[in-house]
Amino acid sequence: MPYLPNSNRYSQMQYRRCGNSGVKLPAISLGLWHNFGHVDQLENSSAILKLAFDSGITHFDLANNYGPPPGSAEENFGKLLKRDFSGYRDEMIISSKAGYTMWDGPYGDWGSKKYLVSSLDQSLKRMELDYVDIFYHHRPDPETPLEETMAALDLIVRQGKALYVGISNYKPAEAAAAIKILKALGTPCLIHQPKYSMYERWIEDGLLDLLSAEGIGCIPFSPLAQGMLTNKYLKGIPSDSRAAKTHGALQEDQLTAARIDQLNQLNAIAADRGQKLAQMALSWILRDERITSVLVGASKPEQLADSLLCLNNTSFSPEELIKIEDILR
């Protein structure tokens, strides 16, 4: 039986304008960094996407190297888009990125025009799309002139392969330089995607102010600090968790006794707010009006449903914010 989206989906979501642009993004966007590769169950990935769309999530964020293996998240997304969401492409914002290692040799990494144009061509083939809505440079390249990288983004828009461009992982000075070049080229930067959570605060030191002043959106990734800001680690490290895996993004030595105590104190504030720790961590990011959307991942539909409940309470009292800062300090 063909999938029919929830007819009330748009009344369930909050949408925020992306900087000064004409684009609005859902407060919660779905990131496909994990759980959409060839190592994952396709029907589970399908169920997550359907719940997202049914809940008013219109923005799906990918990159060339998402999987594993690299490229497989885009392949699977393209397959499910064609099978389940045929006819709904124009209701979606689909993004991809290039900037990390994707193939062997000197042209499969970083920020050259050669790499960015070739990579996006491959991404479009994998997803069976004519264009992406947003194409990002995934990280600054210390060796390629910034003018070349930004000119590649400008070219991609002029070729019709992307509607908008963004940058990711750029520090404030790098971002300011990139924004200036793109503006001069006539292809303004739409959005910046930085790492941001209660435990990763660098964007507060100038980047958020810069983006706000320039009318550029901000969409943080890793808002739960690789799962640390969840109920999973309140009693220590479960054997099946990311922290227990030697290759995981979250390492066991990050979860000290002091950190676990801190998480429990934060969890107590969340409980007083009628939230789980993860929900409060997402609400805490969304309390700032300079944030356009926050990227969440999900390994199953229930996890996404849980994250979406953060939208029920995104405001904090001054007392709550002071308590949170005291704990984090």
Buried/exposed code over 160-183 (b: 16+ C-beta within 10 A; e: otherwise):
ebbbbbbbbbbebebbbebbebbe
Q: Give mean pLDDT, residues 215-233.
A: 96
The verdict on residue 261 lying in a domain is no
Are residues 136 and 97 in contact, defined by beta-carbon separation less than 8 angstroms? Answer: yes
The pLDDT value recorded for residue 240 is: 63
The verdict on residue 80 lying in a domain is yes
pLDDT tens digits along 166-196: 999 999 999 999 999 999 999 999 999 999 9
The verdict on residue 259 lying in a domain is no
Distance CA 61, CA 265 (A): 32
The pLDDT value recorded for residue 266 is: 98
SS3 call for 28: strand
The verdict on residue 248 lying in a domain is no
Query: Left (φ > 0), alpha (ψ -120 to 50) or beta: where does 66 sit?
Result: beta
pLDDT reading at 30 higher than 60? yes
Are residues 158 and 189 in contact, defined by beta-carbon separation less than 8 angstroms? Answer: no
The verdict on residue 175 lying in a domain is yes
The verdict on residue 253 lying in a domain is no
| Structure confidence at residue 235 as a pLDDT band (50, 70, 90) | confident
CA proximity to 216, closest of 23, 14, 13: 23
Biggest CA–CA distance in the chain, Å, is 54
**Of 20-24, 211-215, 237-241, 300-304, which range is least confident?**
237-241
pLDDT tens digits along 54-74: 999 999 999 999 999 999 999
Query: Rounded mean pLDDT of the chain?
Result: 95
pLDDT tens digits along 237-265: 766 665 655 445 565 667 888 999 999 99
The pLDDT value recorded for residue 236 is: 76
User: Which residues 6+ apart lie within 8 Å of 200 measured at CB?
Assistant: 222, 225
The verdict on residue 95 lying in a domain is yes
Task: Please tell me the pTM assigned to this model.
Answer: 0.95
Q: What CATH number corresponds to the domain at position 196?
A: 3.20.20.100
Distance CA 56, CA 189 (A): 25
The pLDDT value recorded for residue 1 is: 84
Structure tokens that stand for 199 in this block: 């435990």
Domain assignment of residue 128, given as a range? 9-228+288-314
User: How many whole angstroms from its chain centre is CA 196?
Assistant: 10
Distance CA 135, CA 62 (A): 10
The verdict on residue 255 lying in a domain is no
> What total number of domains does the chain contain?
1
The pLDDT value recorded for residue 250 is: 63
